[in-house]
Amino acid sequence: MNSIEFPYNFIAIEGNIGSGKTTFCKKIKEEYNCKLILEEFDDNPFLPHFYKDPERFAFTVELFFMTERYKQLQKQLLSQDLFIDFTLTDYAFIKTLLFAKQNLEEGEFRMFQQLYNTLSQSFPQPEILVYFHRSVDVLQANIAKRGRDYEKDITDAYLLKVQNSYFEYFRNILSYPILIIDLNTIDFEENERNYTEVKMLLSKRYNPGVHRISLMV
């Protein structure tokens, strides 16, 4: 039995590119009896082209992402599993709309948003959304460390745009809690104490709306 328990049935971990959300989710899965849903972004054949030529491939890449996320969440969230304690994802479906808003021109985004609004009604919202926040220089260091060739063209400006789109969205959420954790160089992959600190934050109940806590060193 785990000494730290979570009072949520559906937890979404979010963050910018390179924030460590997937690494954290995998560590939780090793320790807890949970259903883990990981985004299958490597399957998007348009992603390398998008980073090289965003304007040309933006709509194609975002439409592919939305379709794949929808199919995955529809299948995983609506299937009953009585033998798990909670569901954990390394993304929330709202990510689809936030990235599209940054990458699409206005007319394309309006059309994209209509489809998103229809699809997003098909499955539940997370009971808590946790956002891992790190500075752009730390994100870039993490991106370089994992060495994905198609990510080498990601710019600081793009990471800032992504970050700002999340924060703008969070300001308008009152229906469920948003927990922003300032991590910066916190390493929960190698440092067990840091990992436990993040888990402790998830063991608490939060009121709907935004909560921000710093673990930065």
Residues in the chain: 217
Q: What is the arithmetic mean of pLDDT over 126-149?
A: 94
pLDDT band at 153; cut points 50, 70, 90: confident
User: pLDDT digits over 82-119, tens only?
Assistant: 789 999 999 999 999 999 998 999 999 999 999 999 99
Q: What is the DSSP letter of 93?
A: T
Predicted pLDDT at 116: 96
Q: Tokens 């021109």 identify what position?
A: 105
At residue 82, the pLDDT reads 79
* CB neighbours of residue 113 within 10 Å: 15
Per the DSSP assignment, residues forming a β-bridge with 180 are 131, 212
Residues 127, 50 contacting (CB under 8 angstroms): no
Rounded Cα–Cα distance for residues 217 and 214 (Å)? 9
Q: How confident is the model at residue 42 (pLDDT cuts 50, 70, 90)?
A: low
Residue 80's CB: how many other CB atoms inside 10 A? 4
Q: Which of 145, 208, 199, 138 is nearest to 177 (CA)?
A: 208
| pLDDT for the residue numbered 44 | 78
| Contact predicate 166/184, CB 8 Å | no
Conformation bin of residue 15: beta by default, left when phi > 0, alpha when psi is -120 to 50: left
pLDDT tier, 45 (very low <50, low <70, confident <90, very high otherwise): confident
pLDDT value of position 112: 96
Task: Report the pLDDT value the prediction gives residue 217, as an integer from 0 to 100.
Answer: 61
Q: How many CA atoms lie within 13 A of 57 on its CB side?
A: 14
Rounded to the nearest integer, the mean pLDDT of the chain is 92
Q: List, in order of start, the domains of the chain with CATH numbers.
A: 10-214 (3.40.50.300)
User: pLDDT tens, 49-58?
Assistant: 888 888 889 9
User: What contacts 18, CB < 8 A, 6 or more positions away?
Assistant: 134, 138, 139, 140, 141, 142, 143, 146, 159
Task: Provide mean pLDDT across the span 144-152.
Answer: 87
